[in-house]
Amino acid sequence: MKTIDELLSEGVAGKRVFVRADLNVPLDGTTITDDGRIRAVVPTVKALADAGARVIVASHLGRPKGAPDPAFSLAPAAARLGELLGADVSFAEDTVGPAAEAAVSGLADGRVAVIENLRFNAGETSKDDAERAAFADRLAGLADVYVGDGFGAVHRKHASVFDLPKRLPHYAGYLIATEVGVLKKLTDDVRRPYVVALGGAKVSDKLAVIDQLLGKADRLLIGGGMAYTFLKAKGYEVGISLLQEDQIPAVQEYIERAEKNGVELVLPVDVLVAPEFPDLKTKAPANPTTVAADAIPADQEGLDIGPETRKLYASKLADAATVFWNGPMGVFEHPDYAEGTKAVAQALVDAPGFTVVGGGDSAAAVRTLGFDENAFGHISTGGGASLEYLEGKTLPGLAALED
């Protein structure tokens, strides 16, 4: 794929450059609680603006139903982008309507505008090719050049990600180029030992990537809510812990295949349990109990890996030359259940090799728990996109940039 450096070498002064970013940040009302994705696109936007381009930034936010919804407005993200750029950023209150057209026509060289949430238009996410194409045609009318830099959306066959690049000269921004380079280090040019730590709520979300990793990784560390399906597959009582019973046969097959392939599959040896899920708003003390992983009481719920598991996982990461981590080890949003996720994050910081935090809740945890982002080799902006790449899937947004 062509990169932004090639575009800059060709000259962009006066050109309207459409940047498909990922500004899908968490909001508390209108307050951004984690601006990591906005910061990630700043190098691309700044380089284009500094070169005299007229930059149009577009993104989705949340899951509106194909119509305007103030709760999902990109206005806060546009304001934060302006703060990070140290420049005024204009905001259009629609995507392809009169406000967007006015904002774009009013751009001077080196200036930036953000248009409203792409998903306020049904054509953005439509499964109907014609409807999606019609929206892409209208977006194309705003610009002369397309730069894809929304890595968190490249696994979606959406109008601004898949159809629009086909209508304009297209290039990969700095973020996408970096993300793809990192993922190649996890697939094509892996230094060993290669250790993968997987957490999060549902084992079903990770089955396909586990299937691939059983032929590539040296060790798999399992935590989070998905661990209880693994423990149940081994015949353990898991109480009222999160459990996907329909996935037990697949998990049992993976446990057997890991042993056959010589992949070390490491499960929790102890867990923190409580009779109910914690209150994440008040953060009231939960007073959990630590029990062995094979001794979870029938009326208790597992909510984090225990202290012995933290030590075990840290030891399994200590000699890693390559690490990929996706998914928290417990309910890290509550202080009583944050220690497992914190221990894995610290083990990545201490590991001697190349460490990748796989986006989503893992990236949020790193920032929430106060870690220096520069202490990791790479923090991805796209959890779902990273996992699908590791699964070996073709990502529509990357395929469109490669054409």
Q: Is 382 annotated as a binding residue?
A: no
Catalytic residue among 20, 37, 54, 310: 37
Q: Is 186 annotated as a binding residue?
A: no
Q: Is 333 annotated as a binding residue?
A: yes
Q: Is 61 annotated as a binding residue?
A: yes
Could you confirm whether 36 is annotated as catalytic? no
Tokens 């910081």 sit on residue? 349
Catalytic residue among 46, 80, 202, 257: 202
Could you confirm whether 14 is annotated as catalytic? no
Q: Is 62 annotated as a binding residue?
A: yes
Q: Is 37 annotated as a binding residue?
A: yes
Q: Is 105 annotated as a binding residue?
A: no
Q: Which of 41, 23, 42, 40 is nearest to 32 (CA)?
A: 23
Q: Which of 134, 192, 189 is nearest to 163 (CA)?
A: 134
Could you confirm whether 360 is annotated as catalytic? yes
Q: Is 310 annotated as a binding residue?
A: no
Q: Is 36 annotated as a binding residue?
A: no
Per-residue tokens: 36: 């990591």
Q: Is 129 annotated as a binding residue?
A: no
Cα four-point dihedral sign 275, 281, 284, 285: positive
Could you confirm whether 225 is annotated as catalytic? no
Q: Is 198 annotated as a binding residue?
A: no
Catalytic residue among 200, 224, 306, 360: 360
Q: Contact at 8 Å (CB) between 154 and 382?
A: yes
Cis peptide before 193 (omega within 30 of 0): yes
Catalytic residue among 148, 224, 384, 397: 384
Q: Is 23 annotated as a binding residue?
A: yes
Q: Which residues of 36-63 are buried (b: 16+ CB within 10 A; e: fewer)?
A: bbbebbbebbbbbbebbbbbbbbbbbee
Q: Is 24 annotated as a binding residue?
A: yes
Q: Which residues contact 246 (CB under 8 A, 6 or more apart)?
A: none
Q: Is 179 annotated as a binding residue?
A: no
Q: Is 119 annotated as a binding residue?
A: yes
Q: Is 50 annotated as a binding residue?
A: no
Binding-site residue ranges for ATP: 206, 302, 333, 359-362
| Binding-site positions | 22-24, 37, 60-63, 119, 156, 206, 302, 333, 359-362
Catalytic residue list? 37, 202, 360, 384
Annotated binding site for substrate: 22-24, 37, 60-63, 119, 156
